[in-house]
């Protein structure tokens, strides 16, 4: 039976970040008649990881500076051989076109004295970061609105609808009314970011994370349950960030030449990667920072005192004026002046991310998952080190594929069954018989991630995590939620626990050490050449998750 | 609390509430914004830059101050 109150659309986009907005714009360009709808958890002009601002477009193959081949070599190094070159190739080939579109729309790309883009190196190889200024997200959101795309803000998606083997739509929670709403569509794009709240931040503050804390892997859980495959969950990423602030700086500091120094004032990366120094792969840099601390040579810090004053000005304008204005106040509160003071660094909490790491939904070169009609893009899609430009490139690619499909209505969507399940679940959460606040629940599993899933990993610890969290997985549907916001937090926490348990399973399955710090197995301390270029896929099976190896 | 609203200066336009990416803010009595869910703030500063009257000061959560 078809739900009478359902909203029909040709192309349903879950998440209005850069990937989702770019997909909507491209779809309407390809076919202005197409009904395109965005469901957004926040408000699209400020939502997601890029909502406040971004100081560089990362990564772009700028003609004359980089090549597609060089970009693929760079991704192979940072992903330690474990990536799908087809997707990275799409990103490399489209990236400069994205930059040109953004510039046409009014996003600022400062030029050097010769009138060229300012392109810096952050990765171990090649220059792909283009300096950027202006209100990127507001501009993209404005362009999206011009297309006539229907936008439902404050509508987090909580379940997917199937139409036989195909995707059939999604159910969102209207945060104003607290009621679920049905959206039916033959094609659905998931682009809700990564999962930020997996490990516990060093401060203990639950939302004090490196990545956007309102993205917590909900689409990964829903996509997996609908039949799509996940990959890269053993790549438990951590970033080297300003102590306690956690949220911004690393790539800005490194690409402009900041040094990592230990407590003795030594530029210690010499010991760990003398060729690449601070531009070593993230896992090697993370390992180095931890080793310096453990050897008693901490605290580790970024140092800027060797840089010319104009470079420090550039760093400050990038971070303070564009990316995170609150960082200026943070440094002022701490009495830190970049011209003279080092900025202490810690490794952040464990997180999972498709564009900053390896974790995500598995898609083909057009972002389509194993479920026909279900696509992924942005940090939701496994597109190692695609970052911001990769999100927009894949948003475009998905839209072009969707535009070629004949519009049709889902024939027999499982809406009634899904809605009944969801309404029963919401009733359970209103009752909340577990009696434990969701914050306490979240704190507990994230503390356990720090103890058992974060490196150094071992089979004993990973199995222990799964055992310790078995009861949490059983109890999670009885977490109390008395209002729509709390209900959203419960769904986020459940997705976080799901991701953490998948990270433990994938980490158990990859019986080698790889990715520097991120997947150090003390019981398998060496790299296994047979596992090079091999991904770990996780797919739902009749008795739980099925794990398998795959060479893309 | 992570935010300080200057009540003299606030015109009650609701821009901070509308744009907060974390659904942290709400409008209270007499069109005055307040932090309904302060524990969910990322101190990203969106409310601050969206405020047309510059009435909002970000105060870092005690745990990270």
pLDDT tens by residue, A446-478: 999 999 999 999 999 999 999 999 999 999 999
Q: What is the CATH number of the domain that holds A484?
A: 1.20.58.100
- With contacts defined as CB-CB under 8 Å, which chain A residues touch B64? 203, 205, 208, 244-245
Considering only the beta carbons, identify the residue of B23, B61, B65 that sits closest to A175: B23
State the nearest Cα–Cα gap between A56 and chain B, in angstroms. 17
- With contacts defined as CB-CB under 8 Å, which chain B residues touch A41? 23
Chain A contact for B39 (CB, 8 A cutoff) = yes
Is residue A300 situated within a structural domain?
A: yes
B60–A330 C-beta distance less than 8 A: yes
Mean pLDDT score of chain A:
95
Is residue A115 situated within a structural domain?
A: no
- Burial code of A362-379, b = ≥16 C-beta within 10 A, e = fewer? bbbbbbbbbbebbbbbbb
Peptide bond into B10 cis (omega under 30): no
State the nearest Cα–Cα gap between A130 and chain B, in angstroms. 23
Q: Pick from A322, A347, A372: which residue ends a domain? A: A347
pLDDT (0 to 100) of residue A280: 94
Structural domain of residue A320, as residue ranges?
240-347
Nearest to A319 by CA among A242, A392, A390, A384: A242
pLDDT (0 to 100) of residue A48: 87
- The rounded distance, in Å, linking the Cα atoms of A378 and A359 is 11
Same domain, A437 and A525: yes
- Asked if residues A403 and A28 have their Cβ atoms less than 8 Å apart, the reply is no
Is residue A551 situated within a structural domain?
A: no
Q: Pick from A291, A312, A347: which residue ends a domain? A: A347
Q: Which strands form A36-39's sheet, in the order they lie side by side?
A: A150-152, A36-39, A11-14, A187-190, A374-376
Is residue A459 situated within a structural domain?
A: yes
Please give, one letter per residue, the 3-state secondary structure of A407-422.
Answer: CCCCCCECHHHHHHHH
State the nearest Cα–Cα gap between B20 and chain A, in angstroms. 7
A175–B22 C-beta distance less than 8 A: no
- Per-residue confidence band for A122, with pLDDT thresholds at 50, 70 and 90: confident
Q: Pull the structure tokens for residue A209.
A: 């994370």
- The rounded distance, in Å, linking the Cα atoms of B9 and B16 is 14
Considering only the beta carbons, identify the residue of B22, B46, B64 that sits closest to A203: B64
B40–A213 C-beta distance less than 8 A: yes
Nearest to A187 by CA among A412, A15, A372, A392: A372
- Asked if residues A374 and A11 have their Cβ atoms less than 8 Å apart, the reply is no
Query: Could you give phi then psi for residue A486, rounded to 5 degrees?
Result: -65, -35
- Burial code of A466-501, b = ≥16 C-beta within 10 A, e = fewer? beebeebeeebeebbbeebbbbbbbbbbbbbbbbbb
Q: Pick from A328, A347, A366: which residue ends a domain? A: A347
| pLDDT tens digits for range A189-240 | 999 999 999 999 999 999 999 999 999 999 999 999 999 999 999 999 999 9
Chain A contact for B42 (CB, 8 A cutoff) = yes
Considering only the beta carbons, identify the residue of B18, B42, B58 that sits closest to A213: B42
Listed in sequence order, the residues at least 6 apart from A209 whose beta carbon sits closer than 8 Å to its beta carbon are: A196, A197, A201, A246, A247, A348, A349, A351, B42
* Largest CA-CA distance found in chain B, in angstroms, rounded: 32
| pLDDT tens digits for range B17-26 | 999 999 999 9
Is residue A406 situated within a structural domain?
A: no
Is residue A73 situated within a structural domain?
A: no
- Asked if residues A71 and A85 have their Cβ atoms less than 8 Å apart, the reply is no
pLDDT (0 to 100) of residue A3: 60
Is residue A7 situated within a structural domain?
A: no
Measured CA distances, A36 to A118, A151, A399, A403 (Å) = 36, 9, 10, 11
pTM comes to: 0.97
**% pLDDT > 70, chain A:** 99
Please give, one letter per residue, the 3-state secondary structure of chain B.
Answer: CCEEECCCCCCCCCHHHHHCCCCCEEECHHHCEEECCHHHCCCCCHHHHHCCCCCEEECCCHHHC
Which CATH topology does B3-64 take?
Alpha-Beta Plaits (3.30.70)
Query: What ipTM goes with this model?
Result: 0.96
Chain A contact for B54 (CB, 8 A cutoff) = no
- The rounded distance, in Å, linking the Cα atoms of A547 and A471 is 22
3-state secondary structure of A75: helix
Considering only the beta carbons, identify the residue of B36, B50, B58 that sits closest to A329: B58
DSSP string, A286-324: HHHHHHHHHTT----EEE-TTS-HHHHHHHHIIIIIII-
Is residue A283 situated within a structural domain?
A: yes
Q: Pull the structure tokens for residue A271.
A: 């010991």
Same domain, A524 and A441: yes
- With contacts defined as CB-CB under 8 Å, which chain A residues touch B46? 46, 51-52
Instruction: Give domain limits for chain B.
Output: 3-64
B19–A46 C-beta distance less than 8 A: yes
Nearest to A428 by CA among A474, A467, A471: A474
Q: How many residues make up chain B in this entry?
A: 65
Say whether pLDDT at A2 is over 60: no
Same domain, A340 and A421: no
pLDDT (0 to 100) of residue A552: 83
User: Which residue does chain A place closest to B64, by CA atoms?
Assistant: A244
Q: How many domains does chain A have?
A: 2
Residue A452 DSSP label? I
- Asked if residues A349 and A446 have their Cβ atoms less than 8 Å apart, the reply is yes
- The rounded distance, in Å, linking the Cα atoms of A358 and A353 is 6
């Amino acid at each position: 039976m078809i739900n009478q109150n359902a909203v029909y659309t040709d192309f349903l986009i879950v998440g209005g970040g850069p990937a989702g907005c770019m997909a909507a714009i491209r779809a309407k360009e390809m076919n202005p008649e197409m009904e395109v709808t965005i469901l957004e958890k926040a408000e699209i002009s400020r939502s997601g990881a890029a909502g406040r601002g971004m100081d560089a477009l990362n990564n772009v193959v700028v003609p004359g500076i980089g090549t597609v081949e060089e970009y693929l070599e760079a991704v192979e190094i940072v992903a330690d051989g474990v990536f799908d070159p087809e997707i990275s190739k799409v990103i490399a080939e489209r990236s400069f076109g994205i930059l040109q579109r953004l510039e046409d729309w009014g996003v600022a790309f400062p030029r050097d004295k010769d009138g060229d883009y300012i392109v810096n190196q952050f990765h171990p190889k090649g220059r792909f970061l283009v300096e950027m200024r202006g209100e990127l997200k507001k501009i993209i959101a404005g362009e999206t609105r011009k297309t006539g795309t229907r936008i439902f803000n404050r509508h987090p998606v909580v379940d997917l609808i199937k139409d036989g083997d195909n995707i059939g739509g999604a159910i969102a929670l209207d945060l104003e009314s607290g009621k679920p709403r049905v959206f039916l569509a033959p094609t659905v794009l998931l682009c809700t970011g990564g999962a930020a709240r997996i490990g516990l931040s060093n401060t203990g503050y639950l939302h004090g994370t490196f990545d956007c804390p309102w993205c917590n892997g909900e689409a990964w859980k829903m996509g997996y349950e609908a039949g799509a495959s996940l990959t890269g969950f053993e790549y438990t990423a951590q970033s080297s960030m300003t102590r306690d602030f956690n949220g911004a700086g690393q790539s800005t500091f490194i690409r402009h030449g900041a040094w990592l120094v230990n407590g003795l004032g030594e530029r210690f990366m010499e010991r760990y990667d003398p060729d690449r120094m601070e531009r070593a792969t993230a896992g090697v840099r993370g390992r180095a920072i931890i080793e310096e601390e453990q050897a008693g040579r901490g605290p580790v810090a970024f140092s800027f005192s060797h840089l010319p004053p104009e470079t420090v000005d550039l760093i400050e304008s990038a971070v303070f004026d564009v990316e995170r204005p609150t960082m200026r106040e943070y440094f002022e509160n701490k009495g830190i002046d970049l011209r003279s003071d080092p900025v202490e660094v810690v490794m952040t909490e464990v997180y999972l991310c498709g564009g900053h790491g390896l974790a995500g939904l598995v898609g083909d070169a057009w972002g389509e998952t194993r479920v026909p009609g279900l696509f992924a893009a942005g940090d939701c899609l496994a597109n190692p080190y695609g970052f911001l430009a990769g999100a927009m490139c894949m948003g475009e690619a998905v839209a072009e594929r969707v535009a070629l499909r004949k519009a049709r209505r889902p024939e027999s969507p499982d809406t009634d069954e899904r809605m009944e399940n969801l309404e029963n679940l919401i009733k359970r959460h209103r009752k909340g018989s577990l009696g434990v606040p969701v914050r306490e629940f979240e704190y507990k599993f994230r503390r356990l991630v720090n103890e058992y899933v974060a490196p150094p990993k071992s089979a004993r610890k990973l199995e222990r995590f799964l055992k310790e969290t078995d009861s949490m997985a059983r109890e999670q549907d009885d977490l109390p939620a008395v209002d729509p916001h709390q209900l959203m937090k419960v769904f986020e926490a459940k997705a976080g626990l799901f991701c953490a348990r998948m990270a433990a399973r994938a980490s158990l399955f990859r019986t080698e050490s790889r990715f520097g710090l991120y997947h150090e197995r003390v019981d398998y301390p060496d790299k296994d050449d047979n596992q090079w270029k091999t991904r770990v896929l996780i797919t739902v099976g009749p008795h739980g998750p099925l794990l398998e190896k795959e060479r893309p | 609390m992570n935010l300080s609203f200057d009540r003299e200066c606030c015109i009650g336009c609701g821009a901070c509430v509308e744009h907060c990416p974390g659904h942290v803010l709400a409008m209270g009595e007499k069109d005055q914004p307040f932090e309904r869910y302060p524990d969910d703030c990322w101190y990203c500063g969106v409310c601050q830059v969206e405020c047309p009257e510059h009435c909002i000061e970000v105060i870092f959560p005690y745990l990270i101050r």
